[in-house]
Amino acid sequence: MATKAKTKHKKKIKTDLVKTYGREETPLRLNEQEFRFAAVRPGLGTIPLDGWIESVEWNEEGSEDATELNMIPVLRGSITLRKNHPDSPAKFPTLRDGHRLRCDVKWFGNWKPLWEMRMLNDRLSIEDGSLTFELQDDIAQLILTEGSVAYRKGKKRRKKGYRYNEIVRLICRKYHIPVGSVVAGTEWHSYVKKDVSVLEMIQGAVEAEQKLTGRHMVIRWAPLPPAKKGKNKGKSTGYGLSITPMRRNPILFLFKDQITAASLGHQRNGNLATTIVATGSQKSGKGKKTKRKPIKVVVRSKEGERRYGFIRREIKVGNVEGRASARKLAKRSLAKGLKPIRIVENFSHPGVATVRRGDAIRVSIPEEGYKGKQGIVFVTSVNHSLAGGDYTMTLTLSFIDPLDPNKLRADREKALRAKKARNKKGAVKGAVFNEGDSLAVGSAGPLASALDVKLTTDAAVGRSSAAGVKILKSRKLPDTILVQLGTNDTSVSGFRASVRSVLALPGVSQVYWVNIKRPPLGGTSDSDLNAVLDDEAGSSSKLVIIDWKGLVESQGITLDSAQHIHPTAAGYRKRAELIAKAMS
């Protein structure tokens, strides 16, 4: 008698963050913190500013998404210097645009560097005798320089390509950027960026490594490692670019009696729905007769409907074992969306100099339910303010853990699956035939530069998918083709017939199709056409969808004001990069 195999489910990792940190209390009396400020002036020497400072503010800017805290926190702020009296004959120290302000903090009885920022846009007030500078660290400076880099695999040298950390150091050398600690990479890359900022070059290399490994890293402007020899041996010689693994802060601070202000509440989940429609596909058959059968399940919450009314949302569950698996995923999504999100805003407290974005803290407000493990929250933004001897900070907090071990495990497993798929199938090799409409015309140049293969393009303004199919049938095609058609189509059934005709082309083993972003045309929306692509991709393993619509909406790419279809030159470069990434 045959026995049914049991499916193994991985247990959810449970984390006790209190035990993870080991210490719960703030490790020092806050009034023991001391600061010192000095202006680093090339050619004029370094001068202390402590006797002149009226106020200093600094804050970290970055993505509002708590899961993206690892990417590039930019430090900005301001400093105000003031005379004892507006009519005082004393002159301010000689400070100019571009001079650097360095801040050190006394922490556990020892002085340590906290940050260094450029001084810019000075404002002198004759009325009250104050001098104010804006501040920003040199991460922001990297946005101002644009250029191109290409680090490709070679036939004789660099046959495997480059490690991401090698790419970062080569970029820093080219653009004269001081660089400190850069965590070593484990994967090989062939890397091309054209007409982008230096920051985008570095960020792209880090993202490429993260995508292949699931590792999370942070890019910061930080103190350089101590010099190993010379007169500055054992001392830090300044600040530079640093890329390190994202880690938890070493101590979990407990904030309770000294909280001066906080706004607590709940908000609706952005994924709220009372009915979930889940679509996907189920594998049937064996060997060459294997097919993907589309499935659809509907899950409702009667309690949710009574509370919120009827809210319907569609999700895609991809390839699943059957209807039961799809229903389970739909129920999980429904339950998650019905759960309101707790929020903590405008949280004010006496300052702790080392608190940064991504750190965990423990808030104790027992009467509002913030106690024990339920009080652990994560910093998404922080503003430090030092004025008149008072040092305070204002935080925005999230309950989403950017270092959730379950998410990190999922990221690692996703990267591992992608790596196995690449090793099995390989990146696109040989030649690619590019068939399309006006969007293919505009992206042809950037795409030819971004791809490491021979690209042949046949594209024309106003071309429909039916016209494109006729051309494809008349040409001798390579194994891989890229299709950029559908923007000019008005019939869903006609578009589906074109997609199936392309998939049936003899000798073509892989089809990459860029999905559609446009206003409704002839009563047909881009969502109608993209649904056809998703359905066909679920039934055919040779069709890969490249999500142009998702990129436009997530990054706010500018489209022309007349038709709302065609991007700017920069938008075409992003489209080309998106395609190249999908095909690499």
- 551/574 Cα distance (integer angstroms): 9
- Per the CB < 8 A criterion, the answer to whether 231 and 187 are in contact is no
Domain range 427-583, CATH class: alpha beta
- Rg of the chain (C-alpha set): 28
3-state secondary structure 102-167: EEEEEECCEEEEEEEEEEEEEEEECCCCEEEEEEECHHHHCCCCEEEEEECCCCCCCCCCEEHHHH
Nearest CA to 402 out of 203, 175, 245, 242 is that of: 245
Q: Provide DSSP, 286-310.
A: -GGG-EEEEEEEEEE-HHHHHHH--
Tokens of 238: 């300044």
Sign, CA torsion 228/230/235/238: negative
* pLDDT higher than 80, residue 232: no
pLDDT value of position 64: 47
pLDDT value of position 1: 35
Please name every residue paired with 280 in a beta bridge, in sequence order, or none if there are none: 295, 318
Residue 422 — very low, low, confident or very high, per pLDDT cuts 50/70/90?
low
Residue 65 — very low, low, confident or very high, per pLDDT cuts 50/70/90?
very low
Among 4-18, 139-153, 347-361, 516-530, where is mean pLDDT lowest?
4-18
pLDDT value of position 61: 66
For helices 548-555 and 569-583, angle between their N-to-C axes, nearest 10 degrees: 130
Task: Report pLDDT digits (tens) over 558-579.
Answer: 888 888 899 998 899 999 989 9
- Please count the CA atoms within 13 angstroms of the CA of 18 that sit on its side-chain side: 11
Work out the number of other CB atoms within 10 angstroms of the CB of residue 109. 7
Distance linking the first and last C-alpha atoms of the chain: 47
Alpha helices in 437-491 (DSSP H): 438-450, 465-474
Q: What's the pTM value of the predicted model, to 2 decimals?
A: 0.62
Nearest CA to 526 out of 508, 550, 503 is that of: 550
- Per the CB < 8 A criterion, the answer to whether 219 and 242 are in contact is yes
Q: Please tell me whether residue 408 adopts helix, strand or coil conformation.
A: helix
Average pLDDT, the chain: 82
* pLDDT higher than 50, residue 84: yes
- Per the CB < 8 A criterion, the answer to whether 460 and 437 are in contact is yes
Nearest CA to 100 out of 52, 49, 59 is that of: 49
Residue 287 — very low, low, confident or very high, per pLDDT cuts 50/70/90?
low
- 342/268 Cα distance (integer angstroms): 9
- Per the CB < 8 A criterion, the answer to whether 219 and 244 are in contact is no
- 382/247 Cα distance (integer angstroms): 18
Task: Report pLDDT digits (tens) over 289-300.
Answer: 667 788 899 999
- Per the CB < 8 A criterion, the answer to whether 425 and 583 are in contact is no
- Per the CB < 8 A criterion, the answer to whether 360 and 375 are in contact is no
Among 129-138, 249-258, 559-568, where is mean pLDDT lowest?
249-258
67 or 187, higher pLDDT: 187
